[in-house]
Amino acid sequence: MTYSFEGKVAIITGAGGGLGRCHAVELAKRGCKVVVNDLGGAMDGTGGSSAAANAVVDEIKAAGGEAIANGGSVSDAKGAKSMVDDAMNAWGRVDILINNAGILRGCTFAKMTEDNWDIIYKVHVLGTFRVTKAAWNIMREQG
C-alpha cells in the first residue's frame, strides 16, 4: 500500500544526507512539501555549508516536488524556530516533524570528554526538544 501525503508539510532535520535525505525525498514523492534542514557540517558537527540542503531541494524539485532549504542549527532556539517559520511562510502549516539531525564524535564512551558529550547532547537531545517545541502549538492547533 502506498500512502499519499498530498498537501502536507514536513520539516526534516539533518536532511542533507543519509536517512534524513531519504525521508525528504520519499515524502516529496508522495506529495509532501518539505523543509530540508541541514546545518551542512561534517558528521562530527564541525564546519557548515548550505550545499547539502540545497542539493536535496534541487533533487526534489527536479522530480516535480516542492521543497525549501533551511540551514538553521537544531541546537539553537533561533535556528529551530527558523525551520518552523520557513514552513509557515512558504505553506502556512506544519504536519510532520522528523527530528533526524545527529552527529558522531568518533570516540568510545571511555574516551569521551565532557566537551564531546555537550555537543552530542545539544544536537540529539536539546535539538529535538527545541524544534519540537517550536512546532508544537502549530501542530496541536491543526489537530
Residue 32 located in a structural domain: yes
Specify if 36 maps to a domain: yes
Within-domain flag for 130 = yes
Amino acid identity of residue 106, one-letter, is G
pLDDT at residue 48, rounded to an integer = 60
Please indicate, yes or no, if residue 84 is contained in any of the structural domains: yes
- Predicted local confidence at residue 108, as pLDDT: 83
* Burial of 116 (C-beta count, 10 Å sphere; 0-12/13-18/19+): middle
Of 73, 93, 90, 81, the residue nearest 132 (C-alpha): 81
Res 104: pLDDT: 80
10-residue averages of pLDDT along the chain (143 residues): 92 96 98 94 58 96 98 94 98 98 83 89 96 97 94
CB burial of residue 37 (10 Å; 0-12, 13-18, 19+): buried
Instruction: Give a yes or no: residue 1 inside a domain.
Output: no
pLDDT of residue 127: 96
Helices (H), 1-143: 18-29, 51-62, 77-91, 114-121, 127-142
Give the domain extent around 95. Answer: 9-142
Q: How many domains does the chain have?
A: 1
pTM check: above 0.85: yes
CATH number at residue 13: 3.40.50.720
In a domain, 59, yes or no: yes
Q: Which three cell numbers stand for residue 27?
A: 515524502
> What interhelical angle do 127-142 and 77-91 show, nearest 10?
30
